[in-house]
Amino acid sequence: MNQTRIQSYDTQRTILTNGVSVISQTIPGMHTVTVGIWVKNGARSESPNEYGIAHFIEHLLFKGTTRRTARTITREIDSLGAVINAFTSYEYVCYYAKCLQHALHPVMDVLCDLFLHSTFPLDEIERERGVVLQEIHMRDDSPEEALHDQLHVAFWGEEHQLGHHILGPEQNIRTLDREAILAYRSRLYQPEDIMVVAAGAVDHQALTTIVDQAFSQGNFECVRSRSEMHDWTLPASPRIIHHGRDIGQTLVGIATKGCPASAAERFDMLVLNALLGGGMSSRLFEEIREKRGLAYSVYSYASSFADAGMFGVYAGTAPDTLGKTVAIMRDEMKRITIDAVPLDELHSTKEQVKGRILMSLESSDSYMTRLARSYRYFDKAMPLAQVLDGIDQVTPDSLQSLAQLCFNPHGYTIMTMGPVDAETRRVIEADYEL
């Protein structure tokens, strides 16, 4: 892939006097602009009695301001031909809108209004409480989603800041009151942790003027002490957890150590994930689905955070082939630690990774998200050419070294969901006995 053709777009950052960062990337030829207000605190900033509150607040900010009702917000955005939404992760919350260039100013007026001047009416809190509870039930009703959530929590452990569900437990959502919600928002939505990030058909100075005017009216009263990130090491022995559930398949996930979002090995992790379970030519897909027909869905994934990471593999199979499927997953992970990846396979995988990155950047929202994450984890814009070069620099030795660091069976967390007979359970547990 010819990296000399990769376009480098103009990126600018302005830090307002109150500490809010305004970051933009102008993409010539685009007709749309996507702008997001990012809070650099997510679910991992919650204390146990607050679990779920960051996501709850994300919902509530759309439920009315001093100037607009919830219905007015949605109707105004629709009338501008725009879309507005939000999401919560463990390390940030984002409120964003996408619109045509000419509609940016009125769209920003709505977005900033709901972010800065939401009123949290009691009736809306109660109504949205029910919505979030239904979202929790919907997650739990999906076996695959439920397994991934529970595997994540089990891997990190309840003592770690990442060891809980973003949506929170039902009990918390049922009991969180308006006072607690306002206190959390005041504590965590501080100017130095807010980035307004835009990409596409955007003029940086015009955006900065809009944001400066809006945020000069914001009420930021609380100065908080920052929470420290926890030190974390791999468990001393594997953890194997079985969840019985009346479903037609048995699902299995294996979680192990990954790497932080800013680690030097992050490019190797991209390639390792693609090689093992990132597509139809990956080793797990070929061995489990194509050669043996043991599963329809089989893949791997990597979750990276500021200070740590998790790598996971997943498959859904018949109860009587669970043992064989787990053995193949284990063997394929082990094989990468022992045998160097052939150069032709490595080259093909790297081209796949680069191609997916480039194809993902087809819209202003993709550019906006990539730019925000770059500033969240590197405090600067990461040139696309530098990312592609980092992928090109991955070697068989560097890939093997990362696999040896991460794929240690003594640190695996293995979870099954669905029918598991006693003999299969015994075999799986025996395979990981120290």
d(CA 289, CA 295): 5
CA distance 174 to 165: 15
- Beta partners for residue 26, in sequence order: 10, 200
Q: How far apart are CA 183 and CA 305, in angstroms?
A: 26
The gap from C-alpha 402 to its chain's centroid, in whole angstroms, comes to: 22
**Distances, alpha carbon 220 to alpha carbons 19, 54, 61, 117, 429, in Å:** 11, 17, 16, 11, 53
First to last CA, the chain: 45
Alpha-carbon span 306 to 340, nearest angstrom: 29
Q: List active site positions.
A: 58
Residues 6+ apart with CB under 8 A from 178: 120, 122, 125
Q: What single DSSP character describes residue 159?
A: T
- Residue 137 contacts by C-beta under 8 Å, 6 or more apart in sequence? none
Query: Cα 385 to chain center, whole Å?
Result: 23
**In Å, what is the CA distance from 378 to each residue of 13, 126, 191, 383?**
14, 39, 18, 12
Cα–Cα distance measured from residue 277 to residue 283, given in angstroms and rounded to the nearest whole number: 6
Tokens found for residue 219: 């009420």
Read off the amino acid at residue 363: S
Q: Looking up tokens 């929590």, which residue turns up?
A: 153
| Residue 130: partners with Cβ closer than 8 Å, 6 or more residues away | none
> d(Cα 318, Cα 195) in Å, to the nearest integer?
47
Burial (Cβ within 10 Å: 0-12, 13-18, ≥19) of residue 46: buried
SS3 state at 261: coil
Residue among 111, 88, 74 at smallest CA distance from 197: 111
CA distance 254 to 238: 10
Between CA 85 and CA 264 the distance in angstroms is: 33
According to DSSP, residue 433 is labeled: -
Q: In this structure, are residues 147 and 112 in contact, taking their beta carbons and an 8 Å threshold? A: no
